[in-house]
Structure 1
Amino acid sequence: MNVNKDKLVPLALGVLALAGVSLFVRDAYSSSLVTWMAIAALTATSLRFVSLIGELNFATAAFYGIGAYGAGTALTLFELPFVVALLAGGAAALVASAVFGYITLKTKGPYFLLIGFAFTEVMRILYTRSDWLGGNSGMVGIFAPSFFGAYFSTFAVLLCGLFIVLLYLVERSDLGKVFTAIRDNDNVVLSVGIDVHLVKVACFCIGSFAAGIAGALHGFANNVISPGDFGFLLSTFALAYMKVGGEDSPYGPITGAVLLVGLASLSTRLGGGEHVFYGAAIVLAVLLMPKGIVGLVSRLLPAGKGRAPAAEGKAHG
């Protein structure tokens, strides 16, 4: 595995730094904000991971929701332990994505995007009509163990950080190189005897599992989930985090998530104005910072420090 330690070490240190900050955050609002930043960062990173095969996964919200409902069902209906319920949410998203991906990844580009959008809406409607999932009223009583207390945000940051690092390690592995080769030219990969379709499904499943874990954390952070939480806007938000931060770098989704979630929390007083905020952020990022904030910073760094990230970005994103 060819791991770039110049990126892995700062990535891990950044996660630990945010976790350290959360230890000293005592008021409920700030603690909750840190938790949502971590969840948003993992969701956006899962979206970026699937983009390694050249596809924009607009079904991210669907698998995020499946993870949330899977964990909630495991905890409240089957009364499974917290850790088992959390992993059950990710597993539910993994299984669903394997079926969905196997069927739909034979399509490409806008067709795959539209299918993902439609699937997200279908799942949202199913939640509203499933009485055992709470219907429109949602599912309640999704509580993390009481021993976490005020430190649930620290747990969320560490768990999300762990999965972000794992996704980066997969990206840098030989399997990750196959993913990016498929994005660049799948016919070349096919010519050497690799089953392109199954490899794409594998990438899709890994990314969706991470999205499912993020969704499970959503349920435990909010204690209640409802169908409206998992509409297509959630995928739009994840896209905003990735584009604004920069999709060529593993730092990009994290940077975008922390910045936009923080700024959006200030705009909630506008009553829905945060939706306009995210849309404007995507437009401005594409027009003014096509490589995102991380790409802009890389260009502004001294030549000796800026060339390596830029070169790697071209190779991997």
Structure 2
Amino acid sequence: MPDRSFPFWGLAVLALGAASLFAGGGYAADLVVWCAIAALTASSLRFVLLMGELNFATAAFFGIGAYTAGVCTTLWDIPFPVTLLLSGVLACAIGAVFGFITLRAKGPYFLLIGFAFAEVMRIVYTRSDWLGGNSGMVGIFPPAAFGTGFPAFVVLIVGVLLLVLHAIETSQFGKLLIAVRDNENVVRSVGIRVHLVKIACFCISCFVTGIAGSLHAFANNVISPPDFGFLLSTLALAYLKVGGEHHPLGPVAGAILLVLLGSFTMGLGASEHIFYGAAIVIAMLLLPGGLMGLLRGRMASAKTRRAALARPNGGV
């Protein structure tokens, strides 16, 4: 069930604080942007998990958002706000078609279809000359009006979208998604069209993923097909598992930890992936509930100890 006890509005305060702190630019600001985009991508993956499905097509919709930003900016000169919105809308529209066709698949088949779709889209980017082919697209710059404040804008947008996802999760629709995950046959027996519910959930996730891809394109200024291979979906899953999939802040915690770890090991060459992979394996083995599960467990234990210590003086 969604964690209603957590004051999620605190995330907005944290986002605004980070935005104002790192608005000046530099490598620290870049790290914040990477963490924010990674957290948003992993959160969109977690949203699909609410209905019991693992979306391995995340890289495909992330790429759709990124290439939409590239085309709208470098070829069509469309205003930035419209470009950002179109990135999410196009990813959502393609996700609706993809979900309508594939969400009836059971077990691992949906996951495998998503993996295949991501690879197909990567090949499409590579073979499309108007998208830059294997070289990708360059010159995807945010409006000059942002100045050095673009990182602050990214963090703010990510914070707002995370709040929206949490609001949906704790709504009646969120309860319906969890009911579908627990037993979709029971939900179907009361006259609810489960397939349409799944499509709606998938579309929301694709919209958010498309926005994340667009922000990625504007933050990096350059995109290429290898950026949107299966590794991206794998990393999103790693952020989610390390942070904890049962808490809305799990993807955020996992993204921050692993992105920072990746930045520290960046100069190790091929050994970078060894340390990165080791961190994931250790977290999965020792922290089955993720970082947020560990934190909640510690907080619960501390609360129990305080209650036990207070009981003799409580007049019981």
2:240 to 236, 239, 242: 242
- Aligned to 2:105, the other structure's residue is in SS state coil
Q: Supply the distance in 1 between the matched residues of 2:3 and 2:263 (Cα, whole angstroms).
A: 35
Contact 1:56–1:109 (CA<8 Å) still a contact in 2?
A: no
CA shift for structure 1 position 87: 1.0
Deviation at 1:272, TM superposition (A): 4.3
2:9–2:163: 8 Å Cα contact kept in structure 1? Answer: no
Hey, what does 1:286 align to over in structure 2? 284
CA 68–305 in structure 1, closer or farther in 2 if over 3 Å, else same: farther
Task: Classify 1:239/1:139 alpha carbon distance in 2 versus 1 (closer, same or farther; 3 Å).
Answer: same
Q: Distance in 1 between matches of 2:297 and 2:161?
A: 28
TM-score w.r.t. length of structure 2: 0.92
**Separation in 1 of the partners of 2:80 and 2:135?**
23
User: Judging changes above 3 Å, is the alpha-carbon distance between structure 1 residues 268 and 3 closer, same or farther for their aligned structure 2 residues?
Assistant: closer
Task: Tell me the SS of whatever aligns to 1:287.
Answer: helix
Cα distance in 1 for partners of 2:117, 2:175 equals 29
How far apart in 2 are the matches of 1:305 and 1:143? 49
Q: Give, in angstroms, the shift of residue 21 of structure 1.
A: 2.5
- Segments of structure 1 that go 5 or more residues without pairing to the other structure are 307-317
The match for 1:20 is: 20
The structure-2 alpha-carbon separation of the partners of 1:175 and 1:303, relative to structure 1 and needing over 3 Å to count, comes to same
SS at match of 1:294: helix
| CA deviation vs aligned residue, 1:51-89 (integer Å, no higher than 9, x gap) | 001011110011000000012111221211011111111
The RMSD of aligned alpha carbons is 1.7
SS of 2:8's equivalent in the other structure is helix
Percent of counterpart pairs with the same letter? 60
What's the counterpart of residue 177 of structure 1?
175
Hey, what does 1:8 align to over in structure 2?
8
* 1:12 Cα offset (Å): 2.1
Aligned residue pairs, count: 303
Cα distance change on mapping 1:55 and 1:302 into 2, 3 Å = closer
Is 1:105 matched with 2:98? Answer: no
SS at match of 1:281: helix
Q: Could you say which structure has the larger radius of gyration? A: 2
Question: After superposition, where does 1:12-91 map in structure 2 within 5 Å?
Answer: 12-23=12-23, 26=24, 28-91=26-89
| Contact preservation (8 Å) 2:55, 2:114 | yes
Determine the structure 2 residue equivalent to 1:262: 260
Match of 1:313 in 2: none
Is 1:126 aligned to residue 124 of structure 2?
yes
Give the CA deviation at 1:102: 0.6
Instruction: Report the CA distance shift for 1:305/1:145 in structure 2 as closer, same or farther (over 3 A).
Output: farther
Which secondary structure state, in structure 2, belongs to the residue aligned with residue 301 of structure 1?
helix
Unmatched segments (≥5 aa) in structure 2 = 305-316
CA contact (8 A) 1:89 1:216 kept: yes
Q: Shift of the alpha carbon at 1:202?
A: 0.5
Alignment of 1:127-276 (within 5 A): 127-276=125-274
TM-superposed deviation, 1:154 = 0.5
Match of 2:7, SS state, is helix
Q: Per the alignment, in what secondary structure is the counterpart of residue 55 of structure 2?
A: coil
